[in-house]
């Protein structure tokens, strides 16, 4: 019921799991409530179903999963619902629209911010004569696709989110492509986002 590997955990599930970890209190009942929320997040079962499970089996399952670190390999491409995407690893290749989308995501917090940031860091493509032909999605498809990005395995989203936040924070030459005002705004948001995103995604490790 509880996945034994991180590649079976979606981004949306992990963010709910991490939130349950952060909200865990010190009292026995608070710890039990947190356990219930964690198993619901990881397995998709209801709270009523989770309450019928032996607490020891829940603890053992979560401990087994957490004993394995989330892989750090960065996947440049991935397939989501039949659409191939490529992550933009060089921030200089981001358009003003994509950078604005990432910066706006930093304000949102929680799983929605991860999903939106990942969406704007990825560009769809089709293979044409063994080459990638990039294109843009219809505007009407964007909201649903951002939601779908919550289904990306955490093993794909975690490395790219941490990579880009660190890169954005340390970058010195955005002014080549963007105004100084936008650059300063990007750095400020990246610093705020690092707490919201990286600590949520790394903080549950022991």
Q: Give me the average pLDDT of each 10-residue run along the chain (206 residues).
A: 92 89 87 94 94 94 93 92 92 83 73 82 90 92 91 91 70 43 50 54 46
State the DSSP code for 10: B
* Structure confidence at residue 109 (pLDDT): 62
Round the CA-based radius of gyration of the chain to a whole number and report it: 18
The pLDDT score that the predictor gives to residue 181 is 45
| 153 CB neighbour count, 10 Å cutoff | 20
Per-residue confidence (pLDDT) for residue 105, from 0 to 100: 78
For residue 48, what are the contacts with CB-CB under 8 A and spacing of at least 6?
none
Evaluate whether 47 touches 36 at the Cβ level (below 8 Å).
yes
Enter the pTM of the model. 0.76
């Amino acid at each position: 019921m509880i996945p034994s590997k991180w590649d079976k955990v979606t981004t949306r599930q992990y963010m709910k799991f991490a939130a349950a970890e952060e909200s865990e209190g010190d009292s026995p009942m608070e710890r039990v409530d947190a356990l219930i929320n964690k198993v619901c997040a990881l397995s998709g079962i209801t709270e009523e179903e989770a309450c019928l499970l032996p607490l020891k089996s829940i603890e053992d399952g979560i401990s087994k999963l957490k004993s394995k670190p989330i892989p750090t390999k960065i996947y440049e491409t991935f397939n989501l619902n039949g659409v191939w995407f490529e992550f933009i690893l060089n921030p200089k290749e981001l358009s003003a629209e994509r950078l604005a989308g990432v910066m706006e995501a930093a304000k949102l917090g929680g799983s929605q911010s991860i999903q939106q940031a990942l969406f704007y860091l990825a560009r769809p493509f089709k293979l044409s004569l063994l080459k990638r032909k990039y294109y843009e999605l219809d505007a009407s498809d964007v909201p649903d696709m951002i939601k779908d990005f919550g289904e990306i395995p955490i093993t794909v989203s975690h490395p790219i989110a941490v990579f880009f936040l660190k890169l954005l924070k340390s970058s010195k030459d955005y002014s080549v492509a963007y105004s100084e005002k936008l650059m300063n705004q990007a750095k400020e948001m990246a610093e705020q986002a690092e707490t919201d995103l990286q600590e949520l995604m790394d903080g549950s490790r022991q």
